[in-house]
Structure 1
């Protein structure tokens, strides 16, 4: 996601104490509202029509020296979904089950492999798979909006007493997006002295601004919307986990550059589940004049989804 120039300090309860968390992101996005306070988050996955245009220079991602999530025992990342909010006391759409199915199927899939060309210092690539742990539910009230990273990081630290450095903790709330211009975001912070990756998601039921318009009929529109933005955020967490690895001259990460473009109408994952998910930017694809053809936009050079 496009990163914002922010420094935030969050007080996080951990092991009975309070831990200060200082996260800095680079000044990489030229925003029209530069004079106004920036929302304290690493970046955002804009809703349809909300992203600000950037121009000029090479479109390829640039390496900024930070790590990627490389292959370890169990995979490149350890994904543990967190479901936060009083609304999760019931789950008539089986969103929790479908989120689990999505992540398990994405691991080792052709879609996940669109991230693996990116490397860190020393040449290690993004891993080809990741592990998925059982989701956790917190029925306390979630914050009223998703404009701050601090409360989301605090929730991760509360729910994950023993985090791991390759952990990715997506937090799914019961909050509708309302007038916010974004669907989700990802960031990085520290829990108990361990660096972690985490993300925030609105409830996207009936939200046309965050709807991929999936033709799938096995699950609800809200599930389909969460799946698309989940693929976006995890792809960025794999290739830019600490917000200092791969992004272009304007601060756009690999999924930002292909947001709201789609190749195959449905991607088939390793567990045979099918999802409409946007592609990811490939430097090698762009340089080799590869990309998919979006029915609405035509040929999208540089965007790949594992089928092209």
Structure 2
């Protein structure tokens, strides 16, 4: 979900942050039911797209029907390298459960029917691809930020850890810090490392966080914490490939494809011999045919 900001202020912020033509300011959602914290820097940053927690998100992403194209690039292929940041990531319960589990998730999701839910969307550089190349993960056992880190914090970590960033790189950063009172589970954004454009994402530690998990994680055989991370990881990955740098696809209220199907499910998603419970993604084509699992435009592969 894109930040609610006054258009004039948003335009100045985006111009100052990035002057590339594929980074227009997103529209300011007008739905008063959107759970926006006016004091939260992340939720008010026009370069950040937050995944609101259950109970904070607007049903259907805010009510606007179709996703609209905004003149920029999408991701035709995606290279993923995960970063696990924080001292707890050295513990066996984190390594053997979440690091291993997310390696399976990212290593198998490429080319899956789930990723193909994004491939109807195009940009200046072609069509969204379902391919995902997982390059493994890096663990940084230094202390992760407490509370809600800024985009600059996460971008700096990516640039520090990733020796050779790629322009089609997507770098999800998982910290060991619980969500606390933040109204969101994760977010994605973008920046540059040494002149190379990169796509980044941020995730809290979601152990025992029932505002971000799929409510029945045991149905997949995964731990609650891993199921929660996979659930929101699919959401952020799908939004990053269809709207990597603010020039892709969102609707008139500012909702991206996964926002419009937040906290709705079309059954288990299976790929590579594993099953996951992941929120669906919006399809304009499915909406036109009323063929989504919600009777409208949400599909999950």
Question: Cα distance, 1:86 vs. partner?
Answer: 1.0
For structure 2, list consecutive stretches of 5 or more residues without a partner in the other structure. Answer: none
| Aligned position for 2:297 | 302
Seen in structure 2, the aligned counterparts of structure 1 residues 49 and 108 have a Cα distance that, compared at 3 Å, is same
| Aligned position for 1:2 | 2
For residues 38 and 30 of structure 1, the distance between their equivalents in structure 2, rounded to whole angstroms, comes to 16
Q: Is 2:3–2:28's contact at 8 Å kept on the other side of the alignment?
A: yes
Q: How does 1:189-228 map to 2 (within 5 A)?
A: 189-213=191-215, 214-216=217-219, 218-228=221-231
Q: How does 1:34-183 map to 2 (within 5 A)?
A: 36-37=38-39, 39-40=41-42, 41=45, 42-52=48-58, 58-70=64-76, 76-93=77-94, 94=96, 95-121=98-124, 124-183=126-185
For residues 35 and 223 of structure 1, the distance between their equivalents in structure 2, rounded to whole angstroms, comes to 27
| Aligned position for 1:187 | 189
For residues 36 and 177 of structure 2, the distance between their equivalents in structure 1, rounded to whole angstroms, comes to 27
Q: Is 2:261–2:298's contact at 8 Å kept on the other side of the alignment?
A: yes
Please report the RMSD computed on the Cα atoms of aligned residues, expressed in angstroms. 2.3
For residues 265 and 196 of structure 2, the distance between their equivalents in structure 1, rounded to whole angstroms, comes to 36
Q: Does 1:250 align with 2:253?
A: yes
For residues 17 and 139 of structure 2, the distance between their equivalents in structure 1, rounded to whole angstroms, comes to 24
For residues 35 and 225 of structure 1, the distance between their equivalents in structure 2, rounded to whole angstroms, comes to 23
Q: Deviations over 1:126-153 (max 9, x none)?
A: 1121100110000011111225211001
TM-score, structure 1 as length reference: 0.85
For residues 261 and 295 of structure 2, the distance between their equivalents in structure 1, rounded to whole angstroms, comes to 8
- Counterpart pick for 2:266 among 260, 263, 268: 263
SS of the aligned residue for 1:114 comes to helix
SS of the aligned residue for 2:51 comes to strand
Q: Is 2:220–2:275's contact at 8 Å kept on the other side of the alignment?
A: no
| Aligned position for 1:14 | none
Seen in structure 2, the aligned counterparts of structure 1 residues 30 and 174 have a Cα distance that, compared at 3 Å, is same
Q: Which moved more, 1:248-257 or 1:87-96?
A: 87-96
Seen in structure 2, the aligned counterparts of structure 1 residues 22 and 68 have a Cα distance that, compared at 3 Å, is closer
Point out the structure with the larger helix share: 2
TM-score, structure 2 as length reference: 0.86
Q: Deviations over 1:95-143 (max 9, x none)?
A: 1110010011211110010000000136x21112110011000001111
Q: How does 1:256-295 map to 2 (within 5 A)?
A: 256-264=259-267, 266-269=268-271, 271-292=272-293
For residues 201 and 146 of structure 1, the distance between their equivalents in structure 2, rounded to whole angstroms, comes to 10
Q: Is 1:4–1:38's contact at 8 Å kept on the other side of the alignment?
A: no
Q: Is 1:82–1:172's contact at 8 Å kept on the other side of the alignment?
A: yes
